[in-house]
Structure 1
Amino acid sequence: MKGKCALLVLSLILAIQNLSAQVSADCASAIPICNDTPVNGGTQGFGTDDFNGASETGCLEETTSGAIESNSAWYRFRTGASGELGFNIGFDTTEDWDFALYKASDCGSLGEPVRCNFFDNSDEEAYMGVGEDPTGNPETVLYEEWLQVEPGEDYYLLINNFSNTNSGFSIQFTGRIFETNPYDALDCSIIDNLLGPPVVACDNETFEIDAETENADTYAWYRDTGAGYQLLEGETTSVYEVTESAMYRVVVSLDDGSSLVSDVQVAFTEAPTAFPATDETLCSGELYFDLSMKDSEVLGTQDPEKVRVSYHRSLSEAVDGINALPREYPLMIGTETIFARTTSVENSGCFDASTQFQLTVGSSPVINFETDVYICESRDAIVIGDLDPNPDYSYSWSTGENSPAIGITNEGTYSVLITNTADGLGCETTATVEVVVSLAPKITEVIIDDLRPENSVEIITDITGEFEYQMDDGPFQPNGRFTDVVPGIHTVTINDIKGCGQVTETITVVGYVKFFTPNGDGVNDEWEIVGLDALQDPELQIFDRYGKVLRVMDKNSTGWNGTYQGHDLPAADYWFRLTYTDPRGQRVEAKYLDAHFSLTR
């Protein structure tokens, strides 16, 4: 049963026409082909069984003929260069064709095919082959991957009709090898023919076939357009100028009484036209120009499935069909000429590169001012916009003002339309400025984690803003956590990066346990504060829940053992108050201390 498979796609098409030509049903008489490729007008039978009764070769299986071949055609070719090579086999979409490609020097040692396709044509595709479908169909299953060839490799190609109804096929070689070696990608020396290999030309040109032969007496030319060869009256020279697709024959009478007969196929592909395209004016702010928007102008009434459009920076590149510009073409300020080329999908040798258009790109205004602005809650007004304006720019604000910069007092969204008036193209850019009120910073809480080998302090604020934090005279940092803080008096600062002020607080770092157990076991028998010696004239008062002072301590005092006037106090919570003399000589109370601890018995 015939199945499905995957493919790879990309092609450079050389030729395709629907015209009867040479065909051989047997491998031994395979038709040699090279750069100009033939078109077959239908196959009839399979001649000798080239597989000697085998039921399969590669992907090909036995057909209704009882053999692998069924209405078959054999061709051979030899590579003349290295590179990526493929081919397209075109046929009627209602028909089912298969192929097998053998890398071999003779029919007696074909081996297994290097490329093979036996999938049915239920999708009614128009092409099969190696490389890419020329229509760009990514879903087709009738294509095998590209060949990577070297010079001097011989190949045999079997094309087989599976449906037993056929109107013929065409073969077109494809691949990047024809870009690097357009004249010797395939070796034409394998064709020994007076008139040479089959020829594919464009219908807007004429082609001469030359039968010049030594010792010739007379030349007679014939043409076959499908009803047999007919004598071309009056054509008696060695050269004949061809103007229409047909099979041509020359009979050369030699002076020894013998004669030579040679046939050649000449097929013409419809040449495309590149219609005029209008000039384009754009602004650099658009970044890219979609060149495909020009396709409809360049194509005119031509079918985009049959004619492709490409764009190039120079006429020579357009003529050679190289260095096509990307469809999303990056814009460059100034004027440049874009050259358009139309190319026949069937025959890339048929093209027109006579059309060009001007692409002019004006300079869009550049925004060089802040678009995210903060206004301090304590400030009356700020200025937004361009403080160093370009003299070629004009400005139109959503407030109705036309100056480069404006003063505002309220938060909100402000927009300005900026126009470049220098080049007459009027390129515009719209800028949106978001103004947000920034609140002054505030210290909400200071968390002091002490009685550890490394004390830490964390500054907390409930104000939303962009702040930086500092301890004493140290550097500002983006967060409020400080480590390795020594005991003593410190200043902590929060600064608004947007310039909306700062706040500073004095904190005291000392250490104390949160509970003690005066039970005489030698562990936590006394409660005390560590670090009082870092303060000047410290005084510590301990209270019970009713505010009664139970003990007053200074930096020379021993710890509190949980007694009052010689009596043990009950297990309960107790509080303390710490005061000291600050560097200004004022008596102050330590802030941000959790002045609470527990007595446990």
Structure 2
Amino acid sequence: MLLLIFGVFTGVAVSAQGALCSDIEPFCAGDERLTFPNSNETNSAQITGELGPDYGCLDEQPYPAWFFLQVENSGSLRFRISQTTNTNGTGTPLDVDFVVWGPFERGDEYCSGSSLNSSKIVDCSYLPDAVETMTIPDAQANEIYVVVITNFELIPGFISLEQVNDSGGSTDCSILDLDLGDNISVCDESEYILDGTTADASKYEWFVFNDSTAQFEVIPGEEGPTLTVNSTGRYKLIVTDEIEGKTEEDEVVVTFYNSPEIGEVSSLAVCDPEAEFIDLTENFEDLILPNNGDNSNYSVLYYETAEDVADHESISQPQMFPFAEGKTIYAEVVDLESGCSSEIEEFELTIFDFPEYDLSEISIFCVDREMQLLNRVSLGEDLGEGYFYEWRDGENIISTNPEVEFNELPESLQISVTVEHPESGCKIEFFSTVAPVSRPENVLIEVTGSDFGDGYTVIANPDDLIGEEYASFVYRLDDGNWRESNVFNDVPPGSHTVSVRELNGCGSTTSESFFLVGYPRFFTPNSDGYNDNWNLITDANISIKKLFVFDRYGKLITKIDPAQKGWDGTYNGSDLPSDDYWFRVEFIDEKTGEYREYMSNFTLMR
């Protein structure tokens, strides 16, 4: 007899479970509980038990469901039967009743009235309970028992059946129907063996579908439970139980494929050394590259360890995989049509060492007062082979060269370049603000102090220029050395200028000359025409009232008229010796109107 195994149901059934004995269904109870829909008005037209069988204690048999089981190992069998409105055993409990007949042998007519009589009743319950215990004592191997379970409350629900005996008998789960399985993809093999071995089958017939005739044709000489096939095709098997006179058939499509290939990838890099995650799928196209066809025909599975490969435990979120430098990842390409997989490719997670790129955040463009460039500006640098560039002026692409040159100001004053390294998949975008800068039109001079005190301090400030906030300057007093500071201390008296130069090459400007009042620190009255007289160095900003010269002992030597040549180093017509001499000047500062007095010394040198 060809038997169908009763399965586990998780949804609402649309047909009755063996509403008549002639539709009887087999079941076996292994380690798990079986759950299946009860018979009710939604799936069965059999409102009560059919005539003929002796139902024993079941005075009524509303919506019966017929099953049978076969004993595998001898011993007593105990089953817990329950009925509720939900599949998981929750919900409203429903009264469940049953009757068991047996034992029978294979080939017996189970459903005849003479078979299902009172002498064959093994156990029966008509209690108003939602949980019952069904017992088959001293069951022997290969015996068959018939079971009816009823739905007394007529409410749709689910019946659960669980074998609860600790030891002894067990049911036979090998009473399976013919099943060749799902359609089969054969990868990289020249042949495949179909196995249609079916319990109780005594005859096997194999067929192959002929596309030309659109019919199945018998395969001569193939009369066993297995068939070796070596070509793509649609195959059918008919099995017969000659004792019961019943047949079953099943068919399957076998397709032979070549497995996909996988590209060589040695590493996958992150561009940011601080990256916490990496997208493993970034090398998808490289991995499927050797295969022809649409990329959508393939998928790539990634594995964290070799053990995961063996267990087919792929990484569930390859787009957000935790990054660890030096870690090895395993990958395989899967053909979505065939399910065939490539060989395994290993690659290492690395950090790509992107070279430093010279593009300042601020790019100085030297201009004149009309905003015209004074000279051509070149930005960028060539990093060598393997790098690609895309320059933009705002949103507009202006160049794909490593360097870009400008003969006029960019339109947006915002320049960017994307530098890409395709081999690593890394790219970085750099931005630079264009800063037009001109030379200063003027240099403002600020003077503090005096030569009659701590000395002069001169401060120079560039004035009237474009882009002052971006400009950088160096400064020079007269013909001295260039310096970064715009403050000059201890500036000697006399006429001076300060020059300002923009460091980015945008030009230089020199101040108007300015005069500092003071006095010489020494003089040499030797009649050589140089420094023969001592006098103040002055201009119209100071009004000298009195000027006296003393020796080191405080003796008045002379009174000087600043408008004349000054003192010649004599006293009463005689040359005075080399020594330090003192002077006292009384003057009015014309800028402030303040009357001031100052004393200091100088040296007469012969």
Q: Answer yes or no: same fold by TM over 0.5.
A: no
Indicate the structure (1 or 2) with the bigger Cα radius of gyration.
2
Q: Provide the TM-score with structure 1 as the length reference.
A: 0.31
Q: Provide the TM-score with structure 2 as the length reference.
A: 0.31
Q: Which has the higher contact order (CA 8 A, sep 6+)?
A: 1
